Amino acid sequence: MKYYSIMLLTVCTLLLAQSVKAQVKSVKTDVPPEIDGILDDDIWLKSPQVTGFKTFVPDFSKDIPYKTIAYVAHDSENLYFAIKCFDEPNLIKTSIAARDRIRADDWICINLDTFNGGQSLLGLYVNPNGIQMDTQFAAGSEDIGVDLIWYSAAKIDDEGYNVEIKIPFKSIRYSDDDGDVEMGVIFERRISRLSTQVSYPALDPEKGFAFLTQMMPLNYSGVRKYTLLELLPAITYSNNTVQEEGRSVSEDNFEPSLTAKIGLTSELVLDATLNPDFSQVESDAQQVEVNQRFAVNYPERRPFFLEGSQNFNFAATSMFSPVRQVVNTRTIVSPRGATKLTGKIGDKNIISTIYALDRADQSLADYSEDETADVGIIRYMRSFTQDSYLGFIGTRRSRNGGFNSVLGFDGQYRFNEANVVSGNFLNSTTQVDKSSNATSNNSMAFRIARNTRSFSGNINIEDIAQDFQSQVGFITRTGITRLSGSVSPKLFPKESLVQRWDFTLYGSITKDKPSGLNESVLYGSIAANLPKNTRLSISADRSSEIFQGVEFRDGSISLSASSQLNKRLRVSTNYDWDNGIFYQSAEQGYGKRIRNFIDYQASDKFNFQLSHNFVSLYSEATDVKYYDLHILRGRLVYQANQYLFFRAIGQYNSLSKVWSPNFLASFTYIPGTVVHLGYGTVLERTQWDGRQYVPADNYLQTFSGFFFKASYLWRL
């Protein structure tokens, strides 16, 4: 009897321990902690704390020599977190950087599923100097563009470093049940020099990196109900000078704008904007645009479109799918006004809508200055267990009597923890103008994937009609049927310099519908992961591509290396020998691709980056050079403190002979309350001969622009 009593007591103790580990109930405080990076507030003595962090990079379930402790607390208006990271102070990698520029540093991250619904999460990162980065993750994709209002501080001491975080409830969306709130959380820490990331709760090796299915419930009580109201007035003044027919023409422009945000509930938010200013603080890094089969796409960085944008991620799409995005908000170029509704209705229903009155594209032949295009987007998702869901999407862009609309559905289902089945179906209807007939075409995709500690793999089927269009999305190719699959086993050597070996084998067969011909890809790679974030890899592929009804060879061999050599210096290089197609004349070619990058943190406040991108292509038949292109880009930043930075960027394109420096002074108190002062210019080797611009030896300033922007976020 005594034996069974002991066994019962042991089982109950284990179950209780599991229950304690499975969730955390935050302590409410009437005296909020001071956010200063010093953990001397009384609340941290009373609040729940978790420790026992385990690795998931480079391997799962390992201990590290440095302890991590996380604390949670709240009051009626804010969430509070504190993280104590034991470490050797002189080895900590950190910097005083602009927001979202700390990926290479040591950091902690609060991964927060604010609805605890398994569909999306916010990643709130802080480095040992208190600099922030925030991201949003959904449908397998992480977006760094989001900027929330939250507060952080960190301090390095003799034991390592401490981080304190304050997150206003008004900055996030969550489900409120009479003041009781449940969220999901995973605490995460990165130690750069060890190439290691740890988490609590520990990730299950059999579930891999599926964060959304492994969240720990985090409970809050006594949360005050509130009405969210934000107003963001902004002014922008610019002066631009361009060369027209041999003379400089200047134009001044003053633009006021107003954006408003209203919280209909704690879960549902309405945004509206009039004449929004979308000038970019960080100019888009130039991509190689010569000899591209499809248009180059740039990521969204405009604040108005970012809230709820994770809900537009679509199942069974990826960076390799022809249907890259069903909703690409950068197709809304310059709206006169726009509205947006995002959030949840009830426990399971997620909704996102956008309507915009967009100014017409000036490059169109029938462009008229007062013309606009109507853009409408609606997205609905019904969530189920874990991260499973079913969704509907509809987009429409109409102008001048013509329109393009896309309707479809998608979904994913997770089973046996590590396996996910996903798919989508889209129907596109296009009418060029009032006098033409509408045409209808379909696109579909199906995917099954598995991801664990030692293996990841997937099988994909895609079919896209030849005349399928999506003027609000981003489509790289139509008229194909494709079967593809990949396997990626991982090996974890014991007591070896190599922490993990990654192997990848990918294959695909594609039928080109217009020609009826087939193309194929067979790709393999081996990569070694070492300390100091060092990665060495070699890859090769043997492939073919159908273009204009002709089969071309398109294989390559690639070598790449990247490493954080020390606290200050990070480098990477990539060298490709590849076959290619010269799309302009549909000829077989061969060439090279070389990419080099250096990131030098000269001090905590000075950062210098230099990138070099080289592409060449030669005729296989005659060895005549079609082109070679160098893009050289340098970026120097002085970060005076966490609010103020000065930046200079210089970029040179050897093919167009264009040199484009620009300069920026930027002050950001919180996202929305900002002052920017910038100047940019474009220098080209050209001159006016009386009739046209012709190549020249000397540089001519063909464009110069000065701008000033100020905005203030007012929150009720």
Q: DSSP letter string over 251-305? A: EEEEEEEEEEEEESSSSEEEEEEES-----SSPPPPP--TT-SS--------HHH
Which residues make Cβ contacts (< 8 Å) with residue 603, sequence separation at least 6? Answer: none
Cα angle 474, 141, 203; round to 5: 165
CB < 8 Å & 24+ apart, contacts of 276-282: 276/302, 276/304, 276/335, 276/338, 277/234, 277/236, 277/709, 278/302, 278/304, 278/334, 279/236, 279/238, 279/676, 279/707, 279/709, 281/664, 281/666, 281/676
Say how far apart CA 234 and CA 577 lie, in whole Å: 49
Q: Is the peptide bond before 48 cis (omega within 30 degrees of 0)?
A: no
- 337, 274 Cβ separation under 8 angstroms: yes
Q: Helix (H, G, I), strand (E, B), or coil: what is residue 309?
A: helix
Number of other residues whose CB lies within 10 A of the CB of residue 585: 9
Q: Residue 26 pLDDT > 90, yes or no?
A: yes
Say how far apart CA 114 and CA 217 lie, in whole Å: 10
pLDDT digits (tens, 9 = 90+) for 262-314: 999 999 999 999 987 655 444 444 444 445 545 555 667 677 887 778 889 88
- 229, 261 Cβ separation under 8 angstroms: yes
- Over range 478-493, report the average pLDDT: 96
State how beta strands 68-74 and 27-28 pair.
parallel
Say how far apart CA 350 and CA 175 lie, in whole Å: 12
Q: Residue 17 pLDDT > 50, yes or no?
A: no
pLDDT digits (tens, 9 = 90+) for 516-537: 999 999 999 999 999 999 999 9
Specify the pLDDT at position 495. Answer: 83
Q: Residue 511 pLDDT > 80, yes or no?
A: yes
At 559, which helix (H) or strand (E)? strand 556-564
pLDDT band at 361 (very low <50, low <70, confident <90, very high): low
Higher pLDDT: 380 or 401? It is: 380
Quick one: 255 exposed, middle or buried, by C-beta within 10 A (0-12, 13-18, 19+)? middle
Q: Helix (H, G, I), strand (E, B), or coil: what is residue 114?
A: coil
Say how far apart CA 655 and CA 647 lie, in whole Å: 26
Cα angle 310, 314, 315; round to 5: 125
Specify the pLDDT at position 12. Answer: 42
pLDDT band at 621 (very low <50, low <70, confident <90, very high): very high
pTM: 0.83
Say how far apart CA 276 and CA 291 lie, in whole Å: 34
What is the CB-side half-sphere exposure of residue 245 using CA atoms within 13 A?
1
What's at 713, amino acid-wise?
Answer: L
pLDDT band at 18 (very low <50, low <70, confident <90, very high): very low
State how beta strands 644-653 and 474-475 pair.
unpaired
Query: Which of 163-167, 182-186, 426-430, 702-706 comes out lowest in average pLDDT?
Result: 702-706
Specify the pLDDT at position 2. Answer: 41
Higher pLDDT: 327 or 101? It is: 327
Say how far apart CA 542 and CA 505 lie, in whole Å: 12
Specify the pLDDT at position 370. Answer: 55
CATH 2.60.40.1190 intervals, the chain: 23-220
Say how far apart CA 689 and CA 140 lie, in whole Å: 54
At 79, which helix (H) or strand (E)? strand 78-86
Specify the pLDDT at position 22. Answer: 59
Say how far apart CA 235 and CA 203 lie, in whole Å: 47
Fold of 23-220: Immunoglobulin-like (2.60.40)
pLDDT digits (tens, 9 = 90+) for 46-82: 999 999 999 999 999 999 999 999 999 999 999 999 9
Where does residue 533 fall: left (phi above 0), alpha (psi -120 to 50 degrees), or beta otherwise? left
Lookup: tokens for 197? 């990331």
CATH number of 297-475: 2.40.160
pLDDT band at 413 (very low <50, low <70, confident <90, very high): very high
Lookup: tokens for 698? 């000397």
Task: From 91, 109, 96, select the one nearest 159 (Cα to Cα).
Answer: 91
- Over range 468-497, report the average pLDDT: 94
Instruction: Report, in angstroms and rounded to the nearest whole number, the Rg of the chain calculated over CA atoms.
Output: 27
Q: Residue 1 pLDDT > 50, yes or no?
A: no
Specify the pLDDT at position 297. Answer: 58
Mean pLDDT, the chain, rounded, equals 89
Say how far apart CA 261 and CA 339 lie, in whole Å: 10
Q: In the chain, how long is the greatest CA-to-CA distance?
A: 107
CATH 2.40.160 intervals, the chain: 297-475
Instruction: Kindly report the length of the chain.
Output: 716
Say how far apart CA 694 and CA 702 lie, in whole Å: 13
Specify the pLDDT at position 286. Answer: 44
Higher pLDDT: 425 or 104? It is: 425
pLDDT band at 415 (very low <50, low <70, confident <90, very high): very high
Say how far apart CA 123 and CA 209 lie, in whole Å: 14
Specify the pLDDT at position 291. Answer: 52
Report CA torsion sign: 168, 172, 177, 183.
negative
pLDDT band at 9 (very low <50, low <70, confident <90, very high): very low
Number of other residues whose CB lies within 10 A of the CB of residue 581: 21
